[in-house]
Structure 1
Amino acid sequence: CTICRISVSCASGGKNDVKRHLESKNHLSNRNVAENSQSLKNVFVTEKEAFSVIKAETIFANFVARYNLPFTVADHFTKMVPIMFPDSSTAKKYASGKTKTTKLIKGSLAPNLDDDVAEKPFGLMCDESNDQGGEKDFVTLVRLYNEEEMAVKTRFLDMPKCNIGSTENLFNCLDESFRKSGISWNNVVAYNSDNASVVKGRKNSVYSRSVQRQPNVMDMGCICHLVNLAVGAAMKMFPLGPPLFLLPVEDLLVDIQYTTTSTTVPKKKKKEFQEFTNVDPLKILKHCLTRWLSLQKCRVNLQQWPALQAYFNSHEDMEKKGHVRKVGQLLADPEMKLYFNFLQFILAPLVSFNTAFQSEDIKLATMHSDMKIMGFFVPIKTIKAAAEDLSKVTYKGIENQVSDSDLNIGNKARVLLINSKDEITHETERRFFKSVRRFFETVTEKMLRAFPIGDQLLKDMTILSPEEKENIPAQTVINVAKRSPQVIQEKQLDKLREEFTDYQLTEPGELPSEEKLDLYWGKVSQMKAAGEPRFPTLSRLMKTLLVIPHSNASSERIFSLNTDFRGDLGKDTIHSLLSCKVNNDRCCHDTMLSTKVFRDCKSATWSYNQNHSSKAC
């Protein structure tokens, strides 16, 4: 018997002697020991095998953090690996459950993904959570230039708890985050947040206190918030009558969504009317006031109008006073349908403008060209006469606008006006065009007042564009540099002027051909003359301009990442997860983890094994 290491005689009983030995207590005990013991080959792992195992465990830990998976996935995955890959020696030794995966994320991945912002100029973005229940967070992000990738990146810095959202508490949290990370206020070149007075007010806010620490901080405002506020104000310009009252677009959307989806019966009846009127069974989305321009996504699809009208007209509560009767009457009003046709048209470009500024691309330099709404109601020659300064355009008053026939209200609204002469009276048409003009005027006024249109820096941002380099006076670059003396000192201004003149004289063929501005200026900074950098001061200034944030969308997205099943995790674990999620731009299969990461993971694994073994003892 190879297990008991003895010879078993079968001289007397033959097969029964062997069977008796196999069932003996001594043999069963020896077999149990043998099955639960590892061979020396498995006990002593080569350095190459150990590295392969740690690498596999680290990559999976990064996958868990990157895609916001629950840590319990690691427990199940560990058991599945040797089953899925039975021929792999790495799979047999893979052992990373939820506790070890957490240790790898916190001890190695997150610290190595944090960019060193202590020595870099950056734009600061912050936002406070508005949760009514539970603890409140104050998220802090930085927008900086990554020299290795030659790209502008947004990085997670901190998210401390701040349940009392006063100016003093919020600023102290921000100041403490800087202190922990060894960041100087001198590195802050720009600030961005939403428009709440506690973070953006001019007298006593996080911004005003930041200016006290760093007087040269620039603030271009959150364009996305400002567009949303402008549209909200313009919506109040829609009267519906007689008698005249505000067009209840938002209330109508909420009532329709609630009535048609509150129970199973309305859903079924709505589907029946959709089939009866031969329209696609599209879902009615819920309008959320806190979502930027949610109105465009949740508007009633005009194809659904006949089905909804038939549904509410046949509703059992149509004869009673209440929201069902109110919705039915509004859907039957041709003036309401006319306004919805216009909204369906006009909200599309506004949402596109908003979405463009939610991206991480450099957008401030193109803000003037992206504001196209003025061309919907003002003659193009009037806009062109104002050159690049849109604030000088005279747009108020019908005498400064195009005629009703040329007013851009969208093709569907125009066709409805032509085909519904019997239902839409001349007075209704006159009121509609007057309301549309007031809508355009209000949106434009709010944008011009809130947007940094009048800021000279915004106008001078054209220095970033390679196409404009020959048209820009050298003094413009000097003026921009004076806005950030912590980046370009006064004694460096002459050097800056010299480099910019050299840059203007450089033939286009010698310069990079990249379309992305951050990559373009990254390659310009690498150009050399006589073995030395050719444009060090100029490129440093341009990289500083590139990190000025144009919206607070990145901060808003952080709260969406902190999902419900993360609620019971510790603060440091959540921070590590956010670092892995935000500070890693690559897909898991494309992430290039350095040797240092794996070395730190090995240390984290050793620490985990030590703690695990001590607890077991």
Structure 2
Amino acid sequence: MKLTPKLYSDSAIAKHICCGRTKAEALITNILAPLASDFSQSLESKDMYFSIATDASNKGNVKTFPISVRFWTPEQGIQNRVLDFFEQAAESADAVTDTLLQKLAEHKLSIHNVSAFSADNAAVNYGRKHSIYQNLKHHNSKILPANCPAHIIHNAVKRASNVLKTDVESIVIKSFNHFSCSAKRVATLKEMFEFADMDYLTLLRHVPTRWLSLLPAIDRLVSTWPAVQSYFLSLGDEECPRVIWDALRGNEHGEEDECSELQVTLFFLQNVLKIFSGAVLSLESDNLTSVEVYALMNGLRTTLQQRKKDALFGAKVDRVFASSVTFSVDRLREEFICFYDTAEQYLEKWFNFSETGHLFNLQCFNLKERQDISYRQLTTVVSALQMDEDLDMDELYNENCALQDVLPKLATHSHPVGELWAQAIKSRSAFPQYSKLLSFVLSIPVSNAYSERVFSIMKGAWTDVRNRCSINLVRSEIKVKMNLQMSCGEFHKFIMGKPRALAAAKSSAKYVSAGPPAQPNLRRDRVDEESASCSREARESARAGSYEEE
């Protein structure tokens, strides 16, 4: 902004442009943040269902919680939005529940319209006797538990990796840490790359709490293995990290082999982790719906069962097993089979694969797999969701009959399921009962990935350089960045249709603290013919005065 008057010195408008910290903060907190919360007005309808999701993260000694919502409408499809972001020291089930109910009330949203509660699988969130979910069920018995399958898959990999004799996770972390803070070691490693006639690549960091960091780290270690192995062997017993040296020193008979057991284990994990990472990437998508989750998780389990049955460990592993005689091939095979068993058992323990679960019954709405839905399937879904008293079942039958001619025409489309249903329904008035049912079904979250993204945005906005930011400013920036995702041109068109917000931004009204919830007068911009014919000064004064008064 300070450069603008110099670049456009011949412009009378540019000469007077200024935007310091105070003005920028006022525009974000009192103008743009309320506009970013505009969506909540549509959720106030009793026929609209939405899910809520939250998580906890620390920023220094400050514990923060986002509240995100997911909803579906025939006009917009599936939408994910940040409702609020707050600070709270207590992380107990009662304290978080009270705050969630308070925030819903502040935004004039009813707990009875909440379809599901999503969070990670910690006991404080989903404990059977006392948890946030159980507390919410006291207020609304229909709320479903939307446990995070991405966390389940991540933990299944960690649990299965523990059965392997070689601790690959520790080796990956130790290898990265060994070079991360020493320029001398990196220089020596680069010499090893030159000796092996390879292009230098840095090792990647693996963070045990992140879902998808292990596979890229293993891929990089495998691709650079000749140089990395030569480097660690050159260090000798005393200098090389113990866990890496024990894995490199050869097989149990003390013989050297062209391919060590560590490398074979890396080959196996490089192959098998792809199916886990693919499932997590699908769950992270904003377009994936609850009607597709069961098929995805069941497909992952079936793949593990088939790999175990066929003893498939990857082409690289098979080549090593066929040619090597210096280490125990049978023992490694047993370890890899045990890996499959452990991962499968963990998935079955924490994910509901039963045919009585709601995710199994919701599969009938997956238009990518089928284009007809029987009335019997609808009644099963309605009973599973406890919506018998909320829907007119006779009218739902008539609407289902009318849709039987529409759904087959969507079979050739490659759009996400949420968009396909939006094309089929088109408007709430055309299929009111079906719209209400789909509003519940498609609002159920598939993972906790959206809440995790909020923390990524928070870390980018709340840096050490900007350590004086208030929680209100961080909340406002998160809302704007997550809820107003549009290009500059799209935002210009959007903001030009909000004359009341523009008037408030130009006047001193922007310095009036809005506070949660968002100011409702910014949601309803109306320009009548009389105000349009007024002079620019009079119109701005009138709007600013009306803004402050309201």
TM-score by length of 2: 0.82
Structure 2 residue aligned with 1:27: none
Residue pair 1:145, 1:547 contacting (<8 A) in 2 also: yes
Structure 2 residue aligned with 1:216: 142
Question: Is it true that 1:417 corresponds to 2:294 in the alignment?
Answer: no
Q: Counterpart amino acid of 1:451?
A: F
Structure 2 residue aligned with 1:144: 71
The partner residue of 1:539 within 414, 419, 435 is 435
Secondary structure at the aligned position of 2:396 is classed as helix
Q: Which range is displaced more, 448-457 or 277-286?
A: 448-457
> 1:525, CA displacement in angstroms?
2.5
Question: Is it true that 1:338 corresponds to 2:260 in the alignment?
Answer: no
Q: Which range is displaced more, 192-201 or 452-461?
A: 452-461
Secondary structure at the aligned position of 2:271 is classed as helix
> 1:171, CA displacement in angstroms?
1.3
The partner residue of 1:175 within 101, 108, 127 is 101
Q: CA–CA distance in 2 between the matches of 1:606 and 1:165?
A: 41
Question: Is it true that 1:85 corresponds to 2:15 in the alignment?
Answer: no
Q: Which range is displaced more, 562-571 or 191-200?
A: 562-571
Q: CA–CA distance in 1 between the matches of 2:273 and 2:214?
A: 8
> 1:566, CA displacement in angstroms?
4.2
Question: Is it true that 1:571 corresponds to 2:471 in the alignment?
Answer: yes
What does residue range 291-302 of structure 1 map to in structure 2 within 5 Å? Answer: 291-299=210-218, 301-302=221-222
Q: CA–CA distance in 2 between the matches of 1:306 and 1:606?
A: 66
Structure 1 residue aligned with 2:50: 122
Q: Per-residue displacement from partner, 1:344-375 (whole Å, max 9, x unpaired)?
A: 11111211111110111124333344344445
Structure 2 residue aligned with 1:489: 389
Residue pair 2:305, 2:344 contacting (<8 A) in 1 also: no
Structure 2 residue aligned with 1:312: 232
Q: Counterpart amino acid of 2:450?
A: S
Larger radius of gyration: 1
Q: Counterpart amino acid of 1:496?
A: L
Q: CA–CA distance in 2 between the matches of 1:144 and 1:446?
A: 30
Q: Counterpart amino acid of 2:473?
A: T
Q: CA–CA distance in 2 between the matches of 1:264 and 1:510?
A: 58
Q: CA–CA distance in 2 between the matches of 1:609 and 1:125?
A: 31
Question: Is it true that 1:357 corresponds to 2:283 in the alignment?
Answer: yes
Structure 1 residue aligned with 2:36: 113
Residue pair 2:30, 2:511 contacting (<8 A) in 1 also: no
What does residue range 516-531 of structure 1 map to in structure 2 within 5 Å? Answer: 516-526=416-426
Residue pair 1:220, 1:550 contacting (<8 A) in 2 also: yes
> 1:606, CA displacement in angstroms?
1.3
Q: CA–CA distance in 1 between the matches of 2:427 and 2:70?
A: 25
Q: CA–CA distance in 2 between the matches of 1:606 and 1:190?
A: 42
The partner residue of 2:348 within 448, 453, 458 is 448
Q: Which range is displaced more, 363-372 or 446-455?
A: 363-372
> 1:554, CA displacement in angstroms?
0.9
Q: Per-residue displacement from partner, 1:219-243 (whole Å, max 9, x unpaired)?
A: 231011010111111011212xxxx
- Structure-2 change in CA distance of 1:355 and 1:104 (3 Å): same
TM-score by length of 1: 0.74
Secondary structure at the aligned position of 1:123 is classed as strand
Q: CA–CA distance in 2 between the matches of 1:207 and 1:218?
A: 9
Q: Per-residue displacement from partner, 1:168-206 (whole Å, max 9, x unpaired)?
A: 211122121112111111110011100111122121111
> 1:434, CA displacement in angstroms?
0.9
Where structure 2 has 5 or more consecutive residues not aligned to the other structure, the ranges are: 251-259, 513-550
Q: Counterpart amino acid of 1:407?
A: A
Q: Counterpart amino acid of 1:570?
A: S
Structure 2 residue aligned with 1:100: 23
Q: CA–CA distance in 2 between the matches of 1:368 and 1:212?
A: 27
Q: Per-residue displacement from partner, 1:22-62 (whole Å, max 9, x unpaired)?
A: xxxxxxxxxxxxxxxxxxxxxxxxxxxxxxxxxxxxxxxxx
Q: CA–CA distance in 1 between the matches of 2:136 and 2:227?
A: 55
> 1:495, CA displacement in angstroms?
1.0
Q: Which range is displaced more, 82-91 or 152-161?
A: 82-91
- Structure-2 change in CA distance of 1:573 and 1:596 (3 Å): farther
Question: Is it true that 1:200 corresponds to 2:200 in the alignment?
Answer: no
Residue pair 2:84, 2:103 contacting (<8 A) in 1 also: yes
The partner residue of 2:398 within 494, 498, 501 is 498
Q: CA–CA distance in 2 between the matches of 1:360 and 1:491?
A: 28
Residue pair 1:220, 1:452 contacting (<8 A) in 2 also: no
Where structure 1 has 5 or more consecutive residues not aligned to the other structure, the ranges are: 1-76, 240-246, 381-400, 612-617
Residue pair 1:237, 1:438 contacting (<8 A) in 2 also: yes
Q: CA–CA distance in 2 between the matches of 1:366 and 1:355?
A: 14
Secondary structure at the aligned position of 2:53 is classed as strand
Q: How many residues align?
A: 490
Q: Report the RMSD for the aligned CA atoms in angstroms.
A: 2.6
Residue pair 2:290, 2:359 contacting (<8 A) in 1 also: yes
Select the structure with the greater relative contact order (CA < 8 A; seq sep ≥ 6).
2
Secondary structure at the aligned position of 2:152 is classed as helix
Q: CA–CA distance in 1 between the matches of 2:110 and 2:418?
A: 24
Residue pair 1:138, 1:160 contacting (<8 A) in 2 also: yes
Q: CA–CA distance in 2 between the matches of 1:549 and 1:566?
A: 33
Residue pair 2:69, 2:81 contacting (<8 A) in 1 also: yes
- Structure-2 change in CA distance of 1:282 and 1:499 (3 Å): same
